[in-house]
Structure 1
Amino acid sequence: MPLPCRFLRIGCLDMKVQGYVTPEFIGAKKAFVKNFENGNEVGASVAAYYNGKLVVDLQGGYADREAKRKYDEDTLQIVFSSTKVMSSIVIAYLVDRGLLNYDEKISTYWPEFAQGNKENVTLLDLVNHRAGVNYIDKSEFEDIDKLAKILADQPHLFDGVPVRAYHAVTRGWYLNEIVRRVDPKHRTIGQIISEEILKQYDLEFHLSLPPNLVPRVANIYTAPFAEKFMLMRNLLLDLWNKKISISFILNFRDDLLIKTFNQTISPDFPTIFTLEEVTKFEEFAFECPSALGFTNAKSIAKLGAVITNNGRSLNDKNKSKPLLSKNTIDLMSTKLPIAWDHVIKRNFTPSVGGFVYLKFPGIEDVEFLGWGGFGGSIFVWNQELGISFGYAMNGIWRPRMNGFIGDERGYSVLKEIVNVVKKLKNDQSDSSSTK
């Protein structure tokens, strides 16, 4: 929010929060409301399921601040790289049906891929950002077949050696081409989501944006100058207090990082490095399954809840075929060795399915599986605790470089949820031991 509001409480907008929360999780609502009271949100939604039941589903603020359009249950939000979680689930969906195998070479499905030292790259490598194609030299958005040829022609950036280097945008394009070749109907990832997942599980997650959905999409707002100044101040303080090193700063001028994140994601969308403010979304028909998903927190959390429910629908009276079998969920959740990411400059613990095990500030004793998106969106779940969590927002804000996934706004709500679940489980354990 503008500085007069943040510091003097003058000229503030009416940032009401609405939605649903069970009594036990009222602390999560208080944390969500506090984000607005502190001026750290424009519009946002947050949702959580516990043991397959919706316990938090809140929205607040504005989808369009200038037009005073409320951010509500009908709002759709671009979640950037949280989209990778959805595309990874679709890959697991095809693995579950025998159409794909994580250990198979990509050239088995796509013979033209086997060039430029990419002959031995596997699907496992690609979903885990080890395919050596974290950026491409040119792109073609007019025709998906022309893009496929460009993708196939791109040489391996590490001479065929499987090195983890975050594929910020290209991962989705390569996965999309593989999926088109193995799907009996030659559909894209977005088409499979639309035709086989959304209606069955009552979700909204769109990889292309037809005109009728455009009015529902929230505008994007970047932090005002004062916030950017505070970011630089905090960065210098961290440097002075030796919380970070000068090499950390220099890493952000790394050529590999710049080329990776400066890859445009659609013909009409600016690069992340040049993104200042997108006030209107035109029709997005070109899919980017890495970074161009439009959804809401409830759909994110519900999809995570389906996974924690062993792949079954949360209200499945007809006992229909699960989204994923338990065997596939176990497989895609299997931990891989810790790997240093040469783009993000951090160690990560990846999983076979292309997800990452994450720990968040204040709840470091709990590991979540999933990923997040540029600006702060979060798409994670924890099987043991039975928690699935989604957070989506239109304010691109990061007050301190304390991690690549999410920020304090999402962490604060998730922390309240985790603490309540721990207490509930302890109470259940105590009750059982006294019987």
Structure 2
Amino acid sequence: MSERLSSGVEKNMAVEGTSTDRFEPVRAALSAHLEAGEELGASIAVDVDGVMEVDLWGGHADEARTVPWHRDTLVSMWSTTKTLTSLAALVLIDRGALDPNRPVAHYWPEFAARGKEHIEVRHVLAHTSGLSGWEQPFSVEDLYDWPTASARLAAQAPWWEPGSASGYHVQTQGQLVGELVRRVSGRTLREFVGTEIAKPAQADVQIGARRADWPRIADLVAPSPLSGIPAGVDPEGIFMRTLIGSPARDEHVDTPQWRSAELGAVNGHGNARGMARALSVISRGGRVNGHRLLSAETVDRVFEVQADGVDLFLGVPVRWGMGYALADERTMPHMPTGRICFWVGRGGSIVMMDLDRRVTFSYTMNRVGEGLLGSERTHSYIKHVYQALASTD
């Protein structure tokens, strides 16, 4: 590496870790957000073709600001978890164990009930299956019970014509993809991610959280919950059915039940470094840490557009590829166009994979920010990353 790594100890006590000179504005942005109190604790990583040019962290792991955010601090990542779950599916697709164009029922026969026999694996990966939430009654305790949650989805009818449009599968996608992983690999999603992704990538990421790691998990601090149904929203529409049919809420995060559960859509735990390492396999054409997890052909499949239009739940245009959203200025204004895929978690966490530049950017935090697809902080960091990259092109 030709650029000098700067030390957080030397330059700013609020931010620790290392970054190359060209990414100094990213460090400054993190420092500014911490000093303004907009961030409580956070980590940022930028992997450039296998070199971690940015590995920063700072702030506190608790709302009382008594516990510093350390290098190995973890945090519950909400929907950024889906990037790991989709990667597990891609690994199985690459091995020929899972075919995205085959019906889900080929692998999971019970799933064929109620007119779902033609729903394909790719529909699940692209949020177009029509199963964006569980039919009521369905509780968070049901969500925590894997056999119950899977059986309920297998037994219900789709809420719209599968494949015709996307409707973000807020909490069901982890169950649907996770059940496929179980059926074809014989292992739980948690086990598969741990042995087939985290271990070869040497990435500090996991679905749920091992009890031994609980002491290093930062508290997730969320704003006051919304009450009531927003004015003008159809209580029988896809948005409300999905919201009500996705029972996990902020108050469930950081509980023993949450950490012990296997929720492939929402309860992954990690930090920016770990996520950048794990997902850099896509940015780098299928290789990570000396291991080939995916072929170039499988990576290309990520960019096969499965849906392109206003998402029935999110209410904004999203271009869905195979397991990931694809760069679109309508959705992410500071993200350039090109071969870029990504997804975000509630509050602002993100992993984005830029194949044109072989760059992987990740951000995790514990103060939940406002915004549908990333917070103002998320977009600020993306802007600074791409300004730094453009300055040295």
Q: TM-score range by the shorter chain?
A: 0.7 to 0.9
1:193 to 2:193 alignment: yes
Answering whether residue 327 of structure 2 is matched by residue 357 of structure 1, we say: yes
Partner of 1:63: 61
Q: Which amino acid aligns with 1:296?
A: N
| CA-CA distance at 1:358 after TM superposition | 4.2
Q: 1:11 aligns to what?
A: none
- Return the offset for 1:196: 2.0
Match of 2:7 in 1: none
Segments of structure 2 that go 5 or more residues without pairing to the other structure are 1-11
1:236 aligns with none
Q: What SS does structure 1 have at the residue aligned with 2:37?
A: coil
Is structure 2 residue 99 aligned with structure 1 residue 101? yes
Distance 1:57 1:18 in 2: 8
1:47: Cα distance to partner? 0.7
The residue that corresponds to 1:325 in the other structure is 295
What per-residue deviation string (whole Å, max 9, x for no partner) do you get for residues 93-139 of structure 1? 00000000111011111111111121110001111111111111236
CA-CA distance at 1:282 after TM superposition = 5.4
Aligned residue for 1:369, secondary structure, equals: strand
Q: In structure 1, which of residues 226, 240, 250 is the aligned counterpart of residue 232 of structure 2?
A: 250
The alpha-carbon distance between structure 1 residues 358 and 60, as it changes in their structure 2 partners (threshold 3 A), is farther
Counterpart in the other structure of 2:90 = 92
Q: Distance in 1 between matches of 2:125 and 2:181?
A: 13
Alignment deviations for residues 52-107 of structure 1 (CA, whole Å, 9 cap, x no partner):
21111111111113261111211111111111111111100000000001110111
Q: What is the aligned partner in structure 2 of residue 262 from structure 1?
A: 244
Per-residue CA deviation, residues 201-259 of structure 1 (Å, 9 max, x unaligned), is 1102111222211111110112479xx9xxxxxxxxxxxxxxxxxxx973597743233
| Aligned position for 2:304 | 334
CA 28–179 in structure 1, closer or farther in 2 if over 3 Å, else same: same
Q: Give the match's secondary structure for 1:175.
A: helix
Give CA-to-partner distance per residue, 1:18-54, whole Å, 9 cap, x none: 1111112111101111111222011111111122211
Q: 1:209 maps to what in 2?
A: 209
Residue among 278, 284, 299 paired with 1:303? 278
SS at match of 1:333: coil
Q: Which runs of 4+ in 1 moved over 6 A?
A: none
Q: Secondary structure at the match of 1:167?
A: coil
Q: Which residue of 2 aligns with 1:419?
A: 387
Match among 170, 179, 182 for residue 181 of structure 2: 179
Residue 357 of structure 2 is aligned to residue 382 of structure 1: no
Q: Which amino acid aligns with 1:16?
A: A
Equivalent residue of 2:232, what SS? helix
AA partner of residue 392 (structure 2): L
Equivalent residue letter for 1:102? P
TM-score with structure 1 setting the length: 0.79
- Structure 1 residues without counterparts, runs of 5 or longer: 1-13, 229-247, 266-270, 426-435
Q: Is the 8 A contact 1:310 1:326 kept in 2?
A: yes
CA distance 1:366–1:285, shift in 2 (3 Å) = same
Amino acid at match of 1:153: A
Shift of residue 355 of structure 1? 3.6
Kept in 2: contact 1:106–1:122 (CA 8 A) = yes
Q: In the aligned structure 1, how far is the partner of 2:306 from the partner of 2:35?
A: 41
1:165 to 160, 164, 167: 167
Query: C-alpha displacement at 1:174, in angstroms?
Result: 1.3
Counterpart of 2:264 in structure 1 is 289
Inter-CA distance 407–21: structure 2 relative to 1 (3 Å threshold):
same
Q: Counterpart of 2:57 in 1: which secondary structure?
A: strand
- Looking at structure 2, the residues matched to 421 and 208 of structure 1 have their Cα atoms a distance apart, in angstroms, of 34
Amino acid at match of 1:148: S
Give the Cα separation in 2 of the matches to 1:198 and 1:216.
Answer: 18
